[in-house]
Structure 1
């Protein structure tokens, strides 16, 4: 009876918040009120929200955009500060608005990218609502609702497919580039896809992040990257320009705008209005004994769920289990933690009239407020959270987690997540799992698995399909990595021809295949061919103004390496110093490409007789690569072996033998039999032969 009464009150309240029949059966107002009471009345059970939910009116209809008079229903963060909290603060025109309007003139797919609380969703909402008042507002509430949302958008005469926080709709069973093309091509100008995305998520798909993926630049995340490439992208700055602040000053009568203007020298106005900085500070201060340490631990667990790649809300029951190790690490009982129910209330309450540190409710689950994900001092996601979460999630979620772990170079985590995804039937999980298997030091195994993917895609998609060509690329690469350099070079010769015919001579995939063709030709002993092909490829990259592209830098490194084999080590070292300077500027000092250049530099120092210099650099590389990739990554093993070679060269044999014994013991657990690192380690450990 109490629940019925609360539901009636929530619906009545929703009616006061909307005009006409529009209410949010699934949405903000009713959910917020219901959840507040449900969390109190139903502490021991969870109500599962139905999948495939769209935002609808009280009558169950998809609303028209012009009737959507509450920006919160589109995903806008509620505003902080004094004033009429039932009404949003006045909208202030942003400098990017004309660009958004131009991009929407002909329909299509528009993506607004910016930092958390930069005002992305409010900008999209205001522009689209004024531009498309008669369009259906089709908002899937989670990824499981994407397919019905697309079906509704297809049927409607006019529709806006609303994908706020686009990253939540990518991945297994998510948006694909063909889906976008089919939806927009069916009735040009009648359907619009309008999306937002945080800069932190968007950066996962730029060239720098692409360079972190070993093997090639065609990896499993290409499906998601291709979605972003299909959009017209407009960036929105967090800090407001002088012109924007002048326009905001016209609304100083609103106390929330006035407060934001007073803090505009440190934060963006939208950031202050949404109380992002205050919420982050509240979380950091809550760890104090007697404050809200359990609530802080709950928020920490929710934050790391999102950082692990989980894109759907987590239940109250999950948080109750997942937060405990965080609390124990900080002191447990010594912190005088509050009861769990009180911790959840603190984390969810609109302490600053905003969404709270946790967003959601009892029935739909909870997610961390995205602003707290931007904190600069967040430690790595701990193993206890990763392991516990992986045991709970669905196969599609495990795929997302595996993809994030692979991009971060955390290969054991990636393998565990993708095994779970493959076992559960997640689409294409076997493809990414094979790549991870090869990256972990089992290239023969990877090549066998990838050959099956190639055959499946050829049968289903055809030999010239981009996805088939991507699988061939990975198969050929790991064939070469397994020691069959000549076979890999021949396979890439064929792939270059096929990619040129299907995609064009200067398509990204064609150029990547040309690089691997030249590289494996050099590895097979055809050094002159490798140098010639790499020089021609570098000319193409430079002509395309891609000097700072990670693949252009990788081509330069390969060219320097194979050129050094023809003599003139001093010139190679000079060129490599220039390359390192460019890589540190373009990619950063800790990018895997930058570390690879430093590895080559140390190898050159050893060749030049500067062995102590080489040992010191390899020692630093072991430390930095271990921190970045994990201690058992093959790149770490390679640096350790190069360091051992230096130790042997300077007569530190006993130290070298101890290190080699440890390397062999650890590498046998990870690398497949016959791996080149194992072969080298055994040869270095074997006693030297003495001529009679």
Structure 2
């Protein structure tokens, strides 16, 4: 096939110019293994031998950032960064005769003779879902293959599409900035496949929308289509459970991305191979790579082993030992957390030099005998058995962590030092991505920092999401004031019945109540529920959400019996529409128990049953599950079981701090209730210490007059005078 290159900003970067500019023999090796064979690969392989200590090139087309800019910041626009042939043309699928340009992880490239020349990829093993994928590609205009990292998604999609559509143009943008150009190119072709490997990189501000998909669609299926892949972890961000995390927050931006995914016909690929797939793989047992993968396939997926995922993860963990590669391990940790923080673009070498230092210090610093930084980068980028390194990329394009590492068990939360460094240096669009992810994860302070940068950069919708995040972070009056203006502008621009206007009204009503006016909030939600039902339908999730908030604020306004009646009707409708395990159904059950307030033993039993259901459906760390535990602790205090309540609140403080962070208003509230329980348990001095510390911590976070600040002062005033000082 023609040598595939990257055309960016109208210039083709060929092999001689690229190698001369970058000066990395390892970069040449990787690109050779991607896009050349024969004499080309042999010659470049010899050059690599001379430069064997240098970093390995990314074994798939790069996604651009400049070499010396801020983390994830491109020096050019990247708006024309499409995969092209050496002649500057968009290739046909039949020309893409290796899977790596499609995004597949490079497999072990050591040939049997032990030479350094890159070998051919392993034989493609037909997967059980291939017939389903073929049917979807023949029928649908947008197909999404979902699976774990290194499950074989890109290889499956590439081989299947190439067999079905060899004469289709293969249009692959190499970053979100190139998506509009890719859509224009594909839209002009009679036959085209728009290839979006790692679809999450093309969602969000400036990314793929349903309108773009509609504009690309061709009259007959298979003429022009979108074929994408996505990791399961990313896909799960858009299920019903994730939407429930945004209760009381703006779901607008999240739904824009979710609506794109709903247009796709989803084909799921299992990580572990079936017995039939293993039998088909055994037919290629002459390949030592496949033999080794089959031996390890009982524990790991075969494609996973071929991509050396488990070995790379073990190498990272083992590198922390003194005298090993501790600085390299710290660099990898920083790169992993950049991706976990929501940064989807590569990070420059200079930025990694800065970001890795706190990781190294936390693990022992100089006591670990860390290697020089250049050696650390060489180690992190060196391919395992010529597959991939822990870092993928090069000096020019920047580096990203191998995606297999993102799902490693036991990873701690992204540390504050990395977040603070990143958020001040990313582009506005990247800040929006980071802010949306932080919002979904219940980190409102972080989300507000990132979204403020996005709003200043003019990212569409950032002002709306920022207003909601400010409210979630403990400033509901400020949020309500901002949302009032946003609602007016949406009504003027879009009309009162537009879903975006209704969403703005929902958030305005919610934060009106949170700011201390439940009567006004209930009135707003009554009108909104009726309007939403008329526009979107009585069973629409937004209608049900408005009814839930109407009942909640009715109860908060002093009418718990009426709130319970509304919630009972809502629960029946939600069970019919959403099913018993939906997170919103569990939330409605909790509110109904709270406002109905049966006799204590019955209430305790209902909450215990609800907690069991929440832990089964959502997991012990889900915010809904923690909310149920909050209700259990509150009812224990009401029943006079103060010691039990104090222990329950103490445990909840620890878990909310871990899940939501110490600054979240829910965490602050749990600390206040813990102090109340301590005071009721004849431990006033412990309560005083906890209340004083909580008030000190909360005062700079919450707006003046916030109900949590008022509660803290009331509890302090109700304590008996401090006794004599004890030593």
TM-score of the two chains, using structure 1 as the length reference: 0.92
Residue 108 (structure 2) pairs with residue 80 (structure 1): yes
Q: Does residue 636 of the first structure (1) align with residue 667 of the second (2)?
A: yes
Matched, 1:594 2:594: no
User: Which of 299, 302, 305 is residue 269 of structure 1 equivalent to?
Assistant: 302
Indicate the residue corresponding to 1:489 in structure 2: 522
Conserved? CA contact 2:107–2:386, under 8 Å: yes
Closer, same or farther: CA 36–550 of 1 in aligned 2, 3 Å: farther
DSSP-derived class of the 1:603 partner: helix
Quick one: distance in 1 between partners of 2:446 and 2:35? Answer: 46
SS in 2 for 1:559: helix
CA positional deviation for 1:201: 1.5
What SS is found at the alignment partner of 1:360? strand
Map residues 252-651 of structure 1 onto 2, 5 A cutoff: 252-544=285-577, 546-564=579-597, 567-651=598-682
Aligned-partner Cα distance in 1 for 2:532–2:663? 35
Q: Indicate conservation of the 8 Å contact 1:107/1:191, yes or no.
A: no
8 A Cα contact 1:216 1:474, kept in partner: yes
For residue 51 of structure 1, the aligned residue among 78, 82, 91 is 78
- Contact 1:55 1:141 (8 Å CA) reproduced: yes
State the alpha-carbon separation in 1 of the partners of residues 333 and 259 from structure 2.
Answer: 32
Deviations 1:122-148 (CA, angstroms, capped at 9, x unpaired): 111111111121221111101111111
When residues 356 and 18 of structure 1 are mapped into structure 2, their CA distance, relative to the original with a 3 A threshold, is closer
Aligned counterparts of 1:461 and 1:185: Cα–Cα separation in 2:
29
Residue 96 of structure 2 corresponds to: 68
> CA, structure 1 residues 293+642, in 2 after alignment: closer, same or farther (shift >3 Å)?
closer
| Whole-angstrom distance in 1 between the partners of 2:250 and 2:279 | 45
Indicate how the Cα distance of structure 1 residues 601 and 185 shifts in structure 2: closer, same or farther if over 3 A, else same: farther
Moved more, 423-432 or 648-657: 648-657
Distance verdict in 2 for CA 1:68–1:411, change over 3 Å = same
Unpaired runs of 5+ in structure 1? Answer: none
Secondary structure of 1:352's aligned partner: helix
Query: Residue 678 of structure 1 aligns with which residue?
Result: 709
| Whole-Å separation in 2 of the counterparts to 1:484 and 1:587 | 32
Tell me the secondary structure at the aligned position of residue 113 of structure 1. Answer: strand
Cα contact 1:220–1:431 (8 A) shared by 2: no
The secondary structure found in structure 1 opposite 2:605 is helix
Deviation at 1:322, TM superposition (A): 1.4
Shift of 1:498: 2.4
Is residue 103 of structure 1 aligned with residue 136 of structure 2? yes
- Using the TM superposition, give the Cα deviation of residue 549 of structure 1 relative to its aligned residue in structure 2, in angstroms: 0.8
Answer whether contact 2:431 2:450 (CA < 8 A) is retained: yes
Root-mean-square deviation (Å): 3.1
SS in 1 for 2:150: coil
> Match for residue 142 of structure 1?
175
Instruction: Give the Å deviation of 1:267.
Output: 0.6
Find the aligned partners of 1:615 and 1:353 in 2 and give their Cα distance: 56
Question: How far apart, in 2, do the equivalents of 1:197 and 1:13 lie?
Answer: 24
Q: Structure 2-normalised TM-score?
A: 0.87
1:683 Cα deviation after fit: 2.2
Would you say how many aligned residue pairs link Structure 1 and Structure 2? 679
For the 8 Å contact 1:83–1:254, the answer to whether it is kept is no
Distance across 1 between alignment mates of 2:683 and 2:53: 70
Alignment partners' CA distance in 2, 1:3 and 1:357: 27
- Give 1:533 deviation, angstroms: 2.0
Change (3 A) 1:660 1:290: closer
Q: Can you list the C-alpha shifts for 1:536-591, whole angstroms capped at 9, x where unaligned?
A: 22112222352111100000001111111xx5333222211111111111111121
Question: SS of the counterpart of 1:620?
Answer: helix
The Cα of 1:649 is off from its aligned counterpart by 2.8
Task: Determine the structure 2 residue equivalent to 1:246.
Answer: 279
Tell me the secondary structure at the aligned position of residue 548 of structure 1: coil
